[in-house]
Amino acid sequence: MTTTNTGRWIRLDGTTNMRDLGGLPTTDGGRTVAGRVLRSDNLQTLSDADVRRLVHEIGLRQVIDLRTTAEILLEGRGPLRALPEVTHQHFTLLPERGHHTDVFAVEETDDRPELPAGWLESLLPRQVAAHDEGEPPAVRSYLGYLGQRSENVVGALRALSRAEGGASVVHCAAGKDRTGVVCAFALSVAGVPHDEIVADYALTAEIIDALVAKLATSPTYADDMVTRDVASHTPRAETMERVLALLDDRFGGPAGWLDAHGFGAGEQVALRARLRD
């Protein structure tokens, strides 16, 4: 039985799926600390009051953006981008055309990359390992992040571990898939058991109708929101359960996967410290 605290939601005008990763139980009897790492959907529509609350009350100092270059450029500058005290780092988890890794520098210039009519056309075809072809679509997608963008999964977690203080927020568009995978790794390193990680992942289902409605108002995401029903966008516990089980079988868990991809014991200690006292 899980004890995920639904009081961890952060209710803002401009987000639908923001919550704090603090307050989750750990295998050694402790709990993750509030106000260190948040997870969220898109931050483009934050109100002035939202910005004040995040920066001045919660102490937000770092944004880790997991969207593609096209998504960032099409959605435009969010209000947090204007604040010098908040750093932004970009780690796309989808394979994409081009090499615009410093997307936040690109958006400051007039020399923007050409974007196709449909931003999804900027993505490269996803490759599925032969032994994963029989997995459900969502599981295959998550394993694809790990297989095709392992350096950016590690990069995002490394950025979290090196934050110098204040709160960090990890986000993508909906805050459920790309964000869910990165946060699952962070929570596992912090000692949160699998059932609690799964429960946190599945919590987005509580607000999925509002989340889909919000994304449907953006031309960037509207087509995907209206061509698929809400059920197809809803995160299911069994998806994350399966991903964690595969990581257990193949690497001895998320920590083993990280170690195999260059994020070793020392960095894992630093990441753990971000979420624990």
pLDDT above 60: residue 125: no
pLDDT at 74: 84
88 membership: H or E segment, kind and range: strand 87-90
247 membership: H or E segment, kind and range: helix 237-251
Residue type, 197: I
- CA 167 to chain centroid, in Å, comes to 15
pLDDT at 126: 63
**pLDDT class of 130 with cuts at 50, 70, 90:** confident
pLDDT at 2: 47
Reported as a single tens digit per residue, the pLDDT across 63-118 is 999 998 888 888 888 999 999 999 999 999 988 765 545 555 555 555 555 655 56
* C-alpha dist (Å) from residue 180 to 76, 144, 242: 23, 14, 14
- Cα(58)–Cα(60) distance, rounded to whole angstroms? 6
Neighbours of 272 (CB within 10 A): 18
- Cα(55)–Cα(83) distance, rounded to whole angstroms? 9
Reported as a single tens digit per residue, the pLDDT across 182-235 is 999 999 999 999 999 999 999 999 999 999 999 999 888 888 888 889 999 999
Domain architecture of the chain: domains with CATH: 6-275 (3.90.190.10)
**pLDDT class of 1 with cuts at 50, 70, 90:** very low
Helix (H, G, I), strand (E, B) or coil at 193: coil
pLDDT at 220: 83
pLDDT above 70: residue 43: yes
Question: For residue 118, what are its two tokens?
Answer: 């449909």
Question: For residue 194, what are its two tokens?
Answer: 């699998």
